[in-house]
Amino acid sequence: MSNYLNNEATASTEIPRNENEVENANQTGLEKPAFDPIKRIEKGFQFFKINEFNKYPDYYRQLAEKQEPKFLMFACSDSRVSPTNILNLRPGEAFMNRNIANLVPAFNKLRYSDIGAIIEYAILALKVEVIVVIGHSRCGGIQRLLSLPDKKTSYDFIDDWVSVAKPAKEKVISKHPHASGEELQTLVEKESVMNSLVNLLSYPYVRTGLADKKLKLIGGYYDFVCGKFEILAVDSDIKPTIDI
Amino acid sequence: MAGKFKNCITLCCTGKPSVVEDMATNGYTCDDAIEGLKKLLSEKSDLESVAAAKIKQLTAELEATDTNEFNPVERIQNGFARFKKEKYEKNPTLYGELAKSQSPKFLVFACSDSRVCPSHILDFQPGEAFVVRNIANMVPPYDTVKHSGVGAAVEYAVVHLKVEHIVVIGHSCCGGIKGLMSFPDEGPTSTHFIEQWVKICLPAKSKVKADCSDDVDFTDQCTNCEKEAVNVSLGNLLTYPFVRDAVVNNQLSLKGGHYDFVKGAFDLWNLDFAISPSLFQ
């Protein structure tokens, strides 16, 4: 059923990463060598092994024994917003969930066990100190949410998932009835981060952590159009919306 | 207090305004505060234990401000500043194009473990890989009720972004897999979510237990399970019709990987299978 291609990296020469190669791979062009995913993965791992893993053996030996990340981060699956890249994180710093539109749904054992398991493990087993939810510009998930209801196209999963952020959409529209286009989308992207932070409060271990002052919540927003990172909220800025 | 007031008047009259200023601007000194507290406690002795607790807390807080305390906001801001300077501003063409749209070739499933980020271990740069990270890098079978998060990510990547390769990457010393191997298969759970989640890869545990002889130690069993769980996830990917269609049409490949951070090794394998298109009408 499966073929094993063993790729233990043994290269001894330093292989510098060519940023232009990445650039070329991302651009469309007329004459482009066929993309070889196996080579790409091999090269990537070799780069890491030579420039990181072999260079800092004590660091990686210690890490192999135990991880003690201070952060739990929620970020979008979008290929452009990896917190490791944009926040220059080191291995061992952040336990991470990546999902469409960096959403944190409220506590629900039936529907959202993936998110629940991450929060439960991060707080109870790893004892992280900070939970960060990072939104970003031009988010496809939020864009889809704004286009709902859509009578023409339907998805099996996407529309249902992004509706986790529906309270954020409704709040923005009621506060900014004349907003539209990119301005509206940015407002909802940011409000969705706040909504996710509020949803975090529905997990008992988050509430206990906050009450014991062992946990901090932070909301962030990465704008890759302008090249900015904004801190939207820290701890006490987070207030649950009151349902009337 | 009366004594001090008398002093103040006297000093005022003798033309020494400094003490008055002190009381008006700086106001309370630490000694004043302690005097005030002592007076209160002598009048209301039942407040002693309350006061003791609060003083203890205050002392701890003050002690903490002395040490090099972890400042998460600063860490985030410094990290971004470094990325902006060393990457974002140095590659304006790349980041300009990425701002307009993304066209990653990979969808990658990796564990939430802080040590196995694909941006580190495979050096993925912005734009290269659409990433899902969860406990033990699991792909559950198609289920719109129980697993909409993973479903949405797979759907978006395959249908909308049209990625060409899905790679599921397991890793050494995975806490989720260790839990799967340790938790009892039946009976009440002791966690809200974790046990329920890792049971997605129960078939991997069964296979490992069946294949392994009694002298294979627990750690090695876990390593085998880490790899078998990847195969279970790859199989589960085929329960998504849009994945099946893309695979059958040779538009999508499925690969499994395992990162061993003890040895510093990366295994990669293809999922080869023969599918007759006629079976999927």
Predicted pLDDT at B43? 87
**B67: pLDDT strictly greater than 90:** no
- The domain A67-237: what is its CATH number? 3.40.1050.10
pLDDT along chain A (244 residues), means of 10: 32 46 52 87 97 97 97 98 98 98 98 98 98 98 97 95 98 97 98 97 96 95 97 78 50
Maximum separation of any 2 CA atoms in chain B, in Å: 107
CA quadruple B190, B196, B202, B205: dihedral sign: negative
Predicted pLDDT at B277? 61
Question: Taking a contact as any Cβ pair under 8 Å apart, which residues of chain B between 134 and 163 contact chain A?
Answer: 134-135, 138, 140, 142, 144-157, 159-160
Predicted pLDDT at B214? 77
Q: A134: closest CA among A171, A175, A80, A172? A: A80
Q: What is the mean pLDDT of residues B115-123?
A: 98
Structure ipTM: 0.88
CATH 3.40.1050.10 boundaries in chain A? 67-237
Which residue in chain A is spatially nearest to B192 when comparing CA positions?
A109
Q: A157, A158, A163, A223: best mutation site toward chain B, by most B Cβ within 10 Å?
A: A157
Predicted pLDDT at B27? 62
Predicted pLDDT at A132? 98
Predicted pLDDT at B48? 84
**For residue A74, what is the enclosing H or E element?**
strand A71-76
Question: What's the gap in Å between the CA of B48 and the closest CA on chain A?
Answer: 23
- Report the mean per-residue pLDDT for chain B: 87
CB contact under 8 A, B265 and A7: yes
Does any CB of chain A come closer than 8 Å to the CB of residue B185? no
Predicted pLDDT at A22? 52
Closest CB to A8: pick one of B132, B165, B265. B265
CB contact under 8 A, B148 and A2: no
pLDDT-based confidence at residue B213 (cuts at 50, 70, 90): confident
Contacts of B156 in chain A (CB under 8 A): 77, 100, 140-141, 158
Predicted pLDDT at A2? 32
pLDDT in tens, B230-257: 999 999 999 999 999 999 999 999 999 9
Contacts of A74 in chain B (CB under 8 A): none
Closest CB to B269: pick one of A5, A115, A218. A5
Check if B174 is active-site. yes
Q: What is the DSSP string of chain B?
A: -HHHHHHHHHHHHTT-THHHHHHHTT---HHHHHHHHHHHHHH-GGGHHHHHHHHHHHHHHHHHHHS----HHHHHHHHHHHHIIIIITT-HHHHHHHHH----SEEEEEES-TT--HHHHT-PPTTSEEEEEEGGG--PPS-TTTBHHHHHHHHIIIIIS--SEEEEEEETT-HHHHHHHHS-SSS--SSSSHHHHHGGGHHHHHHHHHHS-TTS-HHHHHHHHHHHHHHHHHHHHTTSHHHHHHHHTTS-EEEEEEEETTTTEEEEEEE-----GGG--
Predicted pLDDT at A239? 65
pLDDT in tens, B174-188: 999 999 999 998 888
Could you tell me the two tokens for A116? 């629940």
Q: Cis before residue A149, ω within 30 degrees of 0?
A: yes
The contacts found for A177-186 with CB under 8 angstroms, 24 or more apart, are A184/A146, A185/A138, A185/A139, A185/A142, A185/A143, A185/A146, A186/A137
Check if B13 is active-site. no
Predicted pLDDT at A240? 65
Closest CB to B268: pick one of A5, A28, A64. A5
Percent of chain B scoring above 70 in pLDDT: 84
| CA angle at B240 for the pair B142 and B195, rounded to the nearest 5° | 30
Predicted pLDDT at A101? 98
Predicted pLDDT at B73? 96
Q: What is the mean pLDDT of residues B219-233?
A: 97
Q: Which of B174, B201, B222, B225 is catalytic?
A: B174
pLDDT in tens, A188-238: 999 999 999 999 999 999 999 999 999 999 999 999 999 999 999 998 666
**B8: pLDDT strictly greater than 90:** no
